[in-house]
Each structure stands twice: as C-alpha cells, then as structure tokens.
C-alpha cells in the first residue's frame, strides 16, 4: 500500500522544481544533460504529485503533518 509521506511545502517544492527541471532539460541544455535533467524533473514532479517519496521509507521519515495524515 502506498503511504503518503510528502506533505505541505515539500510537496509544492517538488512539483515546482520538477516542472522547472523538465523545462530546462527540454529547452536550455543539450546532450546527456537534456536526458538527465528531464528524468530528474519527472521524478521530482511525480514524488510531489503522488505525495510519496520511496527514499523516505527506510528512514521512516515523513514531512506530512498529523492532520494531513488523517485525510
């Protein structure tokens, strides 16, 4: 089961940075950096959009507040 562990400001930051990195990857760089930045941006956007970061799991870390978790 998917456990939401990204919340609030962290989620917004991931979505915004994801969009920015994808746009930079598409329009401003060439070569391997185009692929690297685009993939990084997609991953950042997805973790923000789905409010889930798999890297947080082994550390039992969450940026969600208690009231967000009850939703």
Q: Sketch the domain layout of the chain as residue ranges.
A: 8-64
**pTM of structure:** 0.86
- Residue pair 21/43 in contact by the 8 Å Cβ criterion: no
**Per-residue pLDDT tens digits for 17-69:** 999 999 999 999 999 999 999 999 999 999 999 999 999 999 999 999 877 66
- Residue 3's closest CA among 67, 61, 46? 61
The model's confidence at residue 70, banded by pLDDT at 50, 70 and 90, is low
Q: Which residues, 6+ apart, have CB-to-CB distance to 62 below 8 Å?
A: 5, 6, 7, 56, 69
The pLDDT score that the predictor gives to residue 71 is 59
Residue 43 has a pLDDT of: 98
- Residues in Cβ contact with 31 at an 8 Å cutoff, skipping those fewer than 6 apart: none
The per-residue pLDDT for 3 is 86
């Amino acid at each position: 089961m998917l456990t939401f562990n990204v919340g609030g400001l962290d989620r917004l930051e991931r979505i915004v940075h994801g969009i920015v990195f994808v746009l930079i990857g598409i329009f401003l760089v060439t070569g391997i950096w185009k692929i690297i930045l685009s993939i990084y941006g997609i991953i950042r956007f997805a973790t923000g959009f789905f409010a889930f970061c798999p890297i947080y799991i082994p550390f039992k870390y969450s940026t969600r507040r208690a009231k967000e978790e009850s939703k």
